[in-house]
Amino acid sequence: MAETNPHLKLELPSDTTIQMARFFEAPRHLLFEAHSKPEHLRQWWGQRDAPLSVCDIDFRVGGAWRFVQRSMGTGEEFAFHGEFREIIPDERITWTFEFEGMPGHVSVERMSFIEQPEGTLLVSLATFDSKEDRDAMLESGMEAGAAESLDRLGELVAMLRA
């Protein structure tokens, strides 16, 4: 995989998984909070030129979430939704993830917040139903989008720490 961001490490552990890892100089409770509160998610999830116009979350196991990004240039919208499957405060969030533009292609993403001496390692493991679904996600530009989102997350947690 070509690296789009020197801070993001993307690996393909199997034919149906994508793993991304990024280190943040911030305590894991701040990263967890940034993933669990709409007021924070609005500030970092997605690309700068396509901010969230909708950020609905029912942050509990079994609760639903839905995000809609709107392109500032074209006005085009991209919607995503899923359900929370596991929440362990400050440690892990597992949710389903589906792009509404391609219904029926659902992945399961597990985000682990791993405490390190100087901060937190965020590891995301997405599991797809097939190699074709995984490869379609890779071909969609998700690596660049994820890298930009995680850059924005880094900016947010730096601000929250201040």
pLDDT tens string for the chain (162 positions)?
A: 444 567 899 999 999 999 999 999 999 999 999 999 999 999 999 999 999 999 999 999 999 999 999 999 999 999 999 999 999 999 999 999 999 988 999 999 999 999 999 999 999 999 999 999 999 999 988 898 899 999 999 999 999 988
The superfamily (CATH) of domain 49-161 is START domain (3.30.530.20)
Cα–Cα distance between 5 and 67 in angstroms, integer?
A: 24
**Pair type for strands 9-11 and 17-24:** antiparallel
Going from the C-alpha of 123 to that of each of 23, 39, 72, the distances in angstroms are 9, 22, 30
Residue-range domain boundaries for the chain? 49-161
User: Which of 87, 155, 86, 157 is closest to 120 using CA atoms?
Assistant: 157
pTM (2 decimals)? 0.92
pLDDT value, residue 24: 96
Task: Find the helix packing angle between 142-161 and 28-36, rounded to 10°.
Answer: 120
pLDDT number for residue 5: 63
How far is Cα 24 from Cα 10, in angstroms, rounded to an integer? 16
Residue type, 60: R
Residue 3 has a pLDDT of 47
Are the CB atoms for 136 and 31 separated by under 8 Å?
Answer: no
Place of tokens 């599991």: 127
Q: Which pair of tokens denotes residue 49? A: 């030129």
Say what the pLDDT of residue 140 is. Answer: 86
Going by C-alpha positions, the residue among 45, 38, 30 that lies closest to residue 161 is 30
| Model pLDDT, residue 141 | 85
Residues 87 and 61 sit within 8 Å (Cβ to Cβ): yes
